[in-house]
A and B are shown apart, each in its own frame.
Chain A
Amino acid sequence: MQRPDRREANQIRSLHCMLGQLSRVDGSAQFSSGKTSVLCGVYGPIDVKVYDEKLDRAHIEVKFRPDIGVPTTKDKWVESAVRSTFEKEVLAQLHPRTLVQINLQVRENDGSVDATAINATTMALVDAGVPMKTTVAAAACVVLKDGSIVADPTKEEAELAVSTHTFAFANGSSDGPLYVDSRGRFSMAEYNRCYDLCRLTCDRILAFMRTALESKIQKESAISAV
């Protein structure tokens, strides 16, 4: 089966990441996969509202805004997905009684927007220097009517899908996923194939993240070394 944009079934769209382009936040990243693009701005650790204050760790807040219209229930769901993914990975106990605020803005949605939001969040948190146990990468895939599985679906492909799957994995760990979201009708065998595909894709995205961070850090350290 040929994909509309002539990609191979396991091929993801070209990745792009810009770091630190927002001036008012503590860290920011714009992460794109093809046309899908999400901007993330992170503050933290900052002062927290009294009723959100946790005595033993930082409170993590996520705000997600769609590109068109006002946030809906679906967008609230992405918020909770991002929060639950990062709540355990940010070392919140290092900064008790503070807030780590994650602001997400979709620039453009052409499918796989929740995975792209997770990837943008990772990069912005790292850019802000918020301590994290690991680097997180997420990837999506869909099962089509003919049973074929394609990685990083566009909006058009996601609409034709029988089931959609999003997974997030941690850097360098052979453990299971940090985040799983599967919808639609699928068999256990299909799920396992999606799991394997997303695992491979996440490794590729992690390698991309490492390169993006390396080039930024090496540029900075070359300056301070002089």
Chain B
Amino acid sequence: MVVEIGPSNIESQFALDALRQGIRVDGRGIYDYRTLKIACGPTPGLVEVQLGETRVLARVSCEVSRPFPDRPTEGIVQFNAELSSMAAPGFDSGRPSTQEVAVARMIERTVKQSRAIDAEALCILAGDKVWAVRVDLHFLSHSGNLIDAASIAAITALKHFKRPDVTVDGEEAIIHDPRDRNPVPLSIHHTPICVTFGFLGDGELMVVDPSLLEEQVQVSSFTITLNAHREICALSKAGGVPLDQEQIDRCTQLALTKVEELNEKISEAIKSAVPDTN
């Protein structure tokens, strides 16, 4: 069994020494993201995000389902995020690790519980038929900061996805074949995006978009989810050393500018997506 071993002592020490001088091991600035590439399509809802060497594939699909009895007019949104050994040696698909659960929960909170998807627009016949939208997140390569990459992939895929058109005639719902009638996009209220910060040393050294080495050395991390309307959708600081209130404020300010940039990149990627040829 391959157990992921941490970085060697000199790697950890070097990362800290460099950071104290304001430089990062991969040559980035403290506040820089790694190069972000978003590839949409050709199939609607298929999006691959590359953040440096980290890669996440998101796949949105849908089917007609029966609504939950307590919410007869709302569609169903399901998330599935699993870390497999494809992403890094030692990940076991049988037993999810704490990290895996943390990533999956954060994404679900970001996109689902922030009500980014208009669930009522997914209703076909109240109490009888609704759309069940499924988001599968496949982690292909883990080189640090899976959360940000996954949140970008998930929201981009949801915006890029198109479901079959439906006409309701009394009690009858007709689902149109994509070839007969153009499929329609989902109704998305807003686009929440995660921005993650890592804290190293005694918590005084902050970095944006931590790399794998920085994640392994960090003493605390902080993720803030914002949308384009400058609203906070989720916050997460799971343990680690305590952080100053000023640091949180600084992170929030930084995250606001980062989310603006990321939002632009997402819109660009959807605009320049390869059209589906079928």
Contacts of A49 in B (CB 8 A): 1
The size of the chain A interface, using a CB distance under 8 A, is: 25
B57 sits at the interface (CB 8 A)? yes
Name the residue on A nearest B63 (C-beta): A68
The answer to whether B88 and A24 have CB atoms under 8 Å apart is yes
With A and B bound together, what is the CA distance between A65 and B59 in angstroms? 13
The answer to whether B134 and A68 have CB atoms under 8 Å apart is yes
- Least Cβ–Cβ distance between A106 and chain B, in angstroms: 9
B159 sits at the interface (CB 8 A)? no
With A and B bound together, what is the CA distance between A46 and B85 in angstroms? 13
B80 sits at the interface (CB 8 A)? yes
**Interface residues as binary, B46-62 with A (CB distance below 8 Å gives 1, 0 otherwise):** 10100001010101010
**Interface residues as binary, A25-39 with B (CB distance below 8 Å gives 1, 0 otherwise):** 100000000010001
The answer to whether B42 and A35 have CB atoms under 8 Å apart is yes
Contacts of A22 in B (CB 8 A): 55, 86, 140-141
How many A-B residue contacts, CB cutoff 8 Å?
Answer: 69
Interface residues of B in 107-160 (CB under 8 A from A): 134, 136, 138, 140-143
A203 sits at the interface (CB 8 A)? no
* B-side interface size class: 20 to 34
With A and B bound together, what is the CA distance between A49 and B90 in angstroms? 11
Name the residue on B nearest A48 (C-beta): B1
Contacts of A48 in B (CB 8 A): 1
A85 sits at the interface (CB 8 A)? no
B223 sits at the interface (CB 8 A)? no
The answer to whether A108 and B134 have CB atoms under 8 Å apart is no
B8 sits at the interface (CB 8 A)? no
Among candidates B2, B61, B138, residue contacting A105 with C-beta atoms closer than 8 Å: B138
Name the residue on B nearest A101 (C-beta): B85
> Which residue, A24, A69, A103, A107, has most C-beta atoms of chain B within 10 A?
A24
Among candidates B46, B61, B93, residue contacting A107 with C-beta atoms closer than 8 Å: B46
**A25 in contact with B1 given A35-B43, A63-B93, A105-B57 (CB within 8 Å):** no
Among candidates A23, A63, A108, residue contacting B43 with C-beta atoms closer than 8 Å: A108
A67 sits at the interface (CB 8 A)? yes
The answer to whether B2 and A103 have CB atoms under 8 Å apart is no
Interface residues of A in 31-88 (CB under 8 A from B): 35, 39, 41, 43, 46-50, 63, 65, 67-70
With A and B bound together, what is the CA distance between A203 and B143 in angstroms? 38
The answer to whether A24 and B142 have CB atoms under 8 Å apart is yes
The answer to whether A107 and B57 have CB atoms under 8 Å apart is yes
Contacts of B86 in A (CB 8 A): 22, 25, 39, 41, 63, 65, 103, 105
Q: Which 3 A-B pairs have the closest CB atoms?
A: A103-B86, A23-B53, A49-B1
**Pairs across A and B, CB under 8 Å, 18 listed:** A22-B55, A24-B87, A25-B86, A25-B141, A35-B42, A35-B43, A35-B278, A43-B85, A43-B89, A46-B2, A47-B2, A49-B1, A63-B84, A63-B85, A65-B82, A65-B138, A68-B134, A105-B86
Chain B positions within 8 Å of A, measured between CB atoms, are 1-2, 42-43, 46, 48, 53, 55, 57, 59, 61, 80, 82, 84-89, 93, 134, 136, 138, 140-143, 278
Q: A24-B87, A25-B89 are in contact. List 6 more A-B contacts (CB 8 A).
A: A22-B140, A23-B53, A43-B2, A63-B85, A99-B2, A103-B85
Chain A positions within 8 Å of B, measured between CB atoms, are 22-25, 35, 39, 41, 43, 46-50, 63, 65, 67-70, 99, 101, 103, 105, 107-108
